[in-house]
Amino acid sequence: MSSAVRYSSRQDINHDWLKNRWMPAIGKIVRVLEGAVEDTTACEEFARRLTTEFPGALAAVRQLSSRAENEASPRALFEEFPLSRCDDEMKAVLGRLVHEEWVARTGIGKKVAALDRAVRDAEVVAGATVSLLLDRDLSRQDREQVLVQMRAFQAACRELSARISALPDTVAP
Amino acid sequence: MIHANPRLLVIDDLFGRGTSSGPNRERDDLCAHFLWKDATEDAAAAASSQRVLRPKAEVVFCRAQVPVAAGVGDRVENDLHVALQSVRAGWQDALAAGRPPWAMVLLDLCFYTGLVTAQSDGNAPGMPPGRDGDDDPGKYFGMTLLNAIHREAPELPIVMFSSKPRAKVSLEFSRGGALGFIARDDANAPELLDDAIWLHGLMPDPEGEVVGHSLPVLLALREARRAARHRGNLLIRGERGTGKEVLARYAHRVSGSSTSPRPFVAVNSAILRTEIFSAELFGIEPRTATGVDGKSGLIESATGGDLFLDEIADMPAEAQAAILRVLQDRQITRLGARASRAVDVRFISATNAELESGATALRPDLLDRLRLGGTLWLPPLHERRADIPVLAMRFIREAEAQYGGAIQRSVDGEALQALLAHDWPGNIRELRSCLFDAVSRHPDVEHLVRGHLRLGQPVSQLSRPATDLDSRGREQRPVAGLNADPCGIEEALSAMARARFSPERIASWSGRLYDIQRTSSWLGARLLLAALDATKRRTPQHPAGIIQIHPAVKLITGDRTLTASRAADVIKRLLGPIEEELEGDLREALAVATRLRPKSPRSPSPHS
């Protein structure tokens, strides 16, 4: 793997899906619940996306998290020229040392753990959100309760995005 | 028509893409989130079912790629030409046609190209997965667009609007001429965008007080808004009749809150003559012993708000020195007071003088302080001809309202061409007078035609609109033009004679009766001063002359039969109300009159 290669899945999830498509969609529902935007089918449509689209995206984030330490480690550089010319034993020893030093220096373990927590939180908040969206008739009182929940979901997704961004996006030299 | 909402152009592949039918869901979501009205003329906007109730902006989207509406199997490529066409339609074309131009362009960084696959189309219809390099900060197509747009339209405000990391392009976007970067995914992105539009956007005055949307006017309005942040003193420059006071009032309006209005005090610097400027500027401390009433000065009246000094270059040297001290110390002392008072006033000054020529008597150190917060330029009308149609309609409606006619006029094409072709040396004031003149002389026509317009006539020879003291006090300064110019006095007297006060707005004139009386007294006093000077008895022992009140009063009353004691009464009535402020010949004249007639004069009559 070239050191210039990016995590395409990170790009897809964080920028394309979460930031460009999912966050504006949440923003719209917040505006609808605030009464600033009229769209009679918006909440129902969003609840449908929340049950069909969101779980798959979270699964992709989990995969990203599980691969992060391995794929971003400078140990991968031993598979590229010129370090690839080292003998296997040298690669194994030096690769392990380089990896351990990198793990300690970057705190990648903590970043992955934080991302995992953000995934769990988002999943929990999403579940509560979809229940509220589907169960309530969005009369004035219910609307405010759902709005509070939507803002919590919005914050959870922002935290998720920030935790993904905190992961290294290239193999460190 | 006033466009209350700014018009934005958003150049973005995802949100700008078209559809063959049905809405662009991502665009709808973005518009709802930012409270925008989608004004794009495409199928996606037409198919949208959402309604933003109080939109903050009208937005046109551009993909900057072809095809605009792509499907599976289509190859999507970036297209600079398409983007520039959209820019020109709302910039050069709009400015030339007198339409409000783009207030701002919001520019994405990363544009995905390549073949639209079933998978990429499934994620977002019409979007390709992207090629190597599309997402490389060194090769972002958004930076190519930025450089090209800024090169072609350097005054057009551009702000980067992306969810890509800012740090990787911060130097490049600054070099490219962008005014800022808003992270689209920021929790406060809508508020950050509001701030950016306020600070950088080019928007007409939503209140319609400053009329027009030509580029120089929009730039001046923007500078006024930017200056509101620091409340530094402003200098407004422009020829006579370009609307400097109206711009000053805009600068005042945008720097305050609607819930707690702050004072705006306008004053013509030419009235700050030696004899009265101290009392006018600083006020008078009440004196119990002598019965002198206290009075706030102009600066004190403007505390917490703005003091507008018109025709600053005409300010006498003594008044300049006094203003300079206030600017340095931020304190004033009323006449007759021992203690000073702190004042918090922003000075907005205006001049039509060529300050660079050095021909004015304005102190350089004062000028530096008066323009510390910036200089706003108002162009002459012939440099903003695109605004003439909208200005013309505004003045015609005002004239119709003033003259009470039921007819709403339009302007015939030939007449409009004549208005557009005229040079307007008297600027907006001349245009206004010309149209008021046309409306008043032709009360029963539905169309103003070329023959109704008396172009090129001196403003003083046109039938003039009555001074309207009700409409925000624009013409409310009765002291304007009271200098040595007899025409100025005739105009001012005429304006004062026709002035009317609206009962609905009477509260805004609270406490102003004494100002009017004092100003009136000073008008008569200066007339008397000139007469005293003209009738002085000069002898070798008294080369400066000895004042003679009797011939002076006979001169200005035109009454040859007036007795000396009656002349003394006239002087006492005239100067009594401003006795505390008198100096020199006027003080002496009052002393002579009081010696001649120690008792109070009888109640005044117009012919006494």
Computed over every residue of chain B, the mean pLDDT equals 86
Rounded to an integer, the average pLDDT of B264-279 is: 77
**Cβ–Cβ gap A28/B54 under 8 Å:** no
Reported confidence tier of residue A10, pLDDT bands at 50, 70, 90: confident
CA within 13 Å, CB half, B513: 4
* pLDDT at position B269: 82
Q: B54 to each of B4, B131, B319, how far by Cα in Å?
A: 11, 39, 49
- Name residues 29-68 of chain B within 8 A of A (Cβ): 29-30, 32-35, 49-54
Question: What percentage of chain B exceeds 70 in pLDDT?
Answer: 87
Q: Are strands B341-342 and B331-332 parallel, antiparallel or unpaired?
A: antiparallel
Q: A37 to each of A31, A62, B29, how far by Cα in Å?
A: 6, 34, 10
Shortest Cα distance from B229 to chain A (angstroms)? 29
Cα B129 from Cα A50, distance rounded (Å) = 23
Q: Are A149 and A128 in contact (CB under 8 A)?
A: yes
> What distance, in Å, lies between the first and last C-alpha atoms of chain B?
55
Which residue among A11, A27, A32 sits closest to B135, beta carbon to beta carbon? A11
* pLDDT at position B292: 61
Most A-contacting residue of B29, B34, B38, B168 (CB-CB within 10 A), to test interface? B29
Query: From chain A, which residues contact B within 8 Å (Cβ)?
Result: 6, 11, 15-17, 19-21, 23-25, 27-28, 30-32, 35-42, 154, 158, 161, 165
Which residue among A21, A39, A158 sits closest to B49, beta carbon to beta carbon? A39
**Cβ–Cβ gap A15/B164 under 8 Å:** yes
The DSSP symbol for B309 reads E
Shortest Cα distance from B47 to chain A (angstroms)? 13
Shortest Cα distance from B13 to chain A (angstroms)? 11
**Cβ–Cβ gap A39/B32 under 8 Å:** yes
Which residue among B53, B135, B163 sits closest to A20, beta carbon to beta carbon? B163
Reduce the DSSP state of residue B204 to 3 states and report it: coil
Question: What percentage of chain B exceeds 90 in pLDDT?
Answer: 54
Torsions phi, psi of B509, nearest 5? -105, 15
Give B461-485 as a 3 state SS string.
HCCCCCCECCCCCCCCCCCCCCCCC
Where is pLDDT greater, at B150 or B552? Answer: B150
Q: Are A115 and A164 in contact (CB under 8 A)?
A: yes
Cα A70 from Cα B216, distance rounded (Å) = 59
pLDDT in tens, B11-22: 999 999 998 888
**Cβ–Cβ gap B163/A35 under 8 Å:** no
Q: Which residues of A touch B54 (CB under 8 A)?
A: 36
**Cβ–Cβ gap B26/A21 under 8 Å:** yes
* pLDDT at position A3: 33
Torsions phi, psi of B562, nearest 5? -60, 135
Q: Does B14 touch chain A (CB under 8 A)?
A: yes
Return the residue of B nearest to A17 by Cα. Answer: B123
- In this structure, the dihedral spanned by the alpha carbons of residues B92, B96, B99 and B102, taken in order and rounded to 10 degrees, is 10
Cα B101 from Cα B93, distance rounded (Å) = 8
Which residue among B30, B51, B53 sits closest to A24, beta carbon to beta carbon? B30
Shortest Cα distance from B182 to chain A (angstroms)? 13
**Tokens of residue B312, six digits:** 């600053």
Q: Which residues of A touch B110 (CB under 8 A)?
A: 15
* pLDDT > 90? residue B308: yes
Neighbours of B354 (CB within 10 A): 11
Q: Are B162 and B136 in contact (CB under 8 A)?
A: no
Reduce the DSSP state of residue A172 to 3 states and report it: coil
**Interface A-B: count of C-beta contacts within 8 A:** 72
Q: Which residues of B touch A150 (CB under 8 A)?
A: none
Burial A151-172 (b: 16+ CB within 10 A, else e): eebbebbbbbbebbbbbbeebb
Where is pLDDT greater, at B457 or A29? Answer: A29
* pLDDT > 80? residue A122: yes
Beta bridge partners of B350: B236
Q: B199 to each of B91, B158, B180, B227, B375, how far by Cα in Å?
A: 19, 12, 11, 9, 16
Cα B589 from Cα A68, distance rounded (Å) = 97
Give B357-416 as a 3 state SS string.
HCCCCCCHHHHHHHCCCCEEECCCHHHCHHHHHHHHHHHHHHHHHHHCCCCCCEECHHHH
Reported confidence tier of residue B315, pLDDT bands at 50, 70, 90: confident
* pLDDT > 60? residue B602: no
Rounded to an integer, the average pLDDT of B121-132 is: 92
Reported confidence tier of residue A1, pLDDT bands at 50, 70, 90: very low
Rounded to an integer, the average pLDDT of B299-322 is: 90
Reported confidence tier of residue B274, pLDDT bands at 50, 70, 90: low
Beta bridge partners of B376: B236
Q: Are B306 and B252 in contact (CB under 8 A)?
A: yes
**Tokens of residue B90, six digits:** 């709302």
Computed over every residue of chain A, the mean pLDDT equals 85
Cα B509 from Cα B469, distance rounded (Å) = 10
B234: left (phi over 0), alpha (psi -120 to 50) or beta: beta
Residue reference for tokens 């009140």: B549
Rounded to an integer, the average pLDDT of B397-412 is: 86
Cα B129 from Cα B122, distance rounded (Å) = 11
Burial B533-563 (b: 16+ CB within 10 A, else e): eebbeeeeeeeeeebbbbbbbbbbeeeeebe
* pLDDT at position B597: 84
Cα B35 from Cα B48, distance rounded (Å) = 14
**Cβ–Cβ gap B163/A32 under 8 Å:** no
Q: Are B518 and B525 in contact (CB under 8 A)?
A: no
* pLDDT at position A62: 93
Confirm whether the ipTM is greater than 0.90.
no
* pLDDT > 60? residue B460: no
Shortest Cα distance from A157 to chain B (angstroms)? 11
Q: Which residues of A touch B51 (CB under 8 A)?
A: 37-39
* pLDDT > 80? residue B288: no
Most B-contacting residue of A8, A10, A31, A40 (CB-CB within 10 A), to test interface? A31
* pLDDT at position A95: 83
Residue B507 CB-density burial (10 A; 0-12 exposed, 13-18 middle, 19+ buried):
exposed
What is the helix, strand, coil percentage profile of chain B, to 5? 45, 15, 40
What is the helix, strand, coil percentage profile of chain A, to 5? 80, 0, 20
Rounded to an integer, the average pLDDT of B90-96 is: 94
Q: B36 to each of B9, B106, B360, how far by Cα in Å?
A: 11, 13, 50
Which residue among A17, A31, A158 sits closest to B32, beta carbon to beta carbon? A31
Q: Which residues of B touch A21 (CB under 8 A)?
A: 14, 26, 29, 124
Residue reference for tokens 């790009």: A11
pLDDT in tens, B37-72: 999 999 999 999 999 999 999 999 999 999 999 999
Q: Which residues of A touch B59 (CB under 8 A)?
A: none
Rounded to an integer, the average pLDDT of A110-139 is: 89
pLDDT in tens, B409-441: 999 999 999 999 999 999 999 999 999 999 988
Return the residue of B nearest to A27 by Cα. Answer: B33
**Cβ–Cβ gap B35/A17 under 8 Å:** no
Q: Which residues contact B21 (CB under 8 A, 6 or more apart)?
A: B43, B47
pLDDT in tens, B464-507: 444 433 333 333 333 333 333 444 666 677 667 667 777 777 77
Reported confidence tier of residue A128, pLDDT bands at 50, 70, 90: very high
Q: Which residues contact A78 (CB under 8 A, 6 or more apart)?
A: A84, A86, A91, A94, A95, A98
* pLDDT at position B15: 97
Q: Which residues of A touch B34 (CB under 8 A)?
A: 27
**Tokens of residue A103, six digits:** 């793990």
> For the whole model, what pTM was predicted?
0.75
Closest C-alpha to B124, from B9, B11, B37, B28: B28
CA–centroid distance for B328 within its chain: 26
Q: Which residues of B touch A36 (CB under 8 A)?
A: 32, 35, 52-54
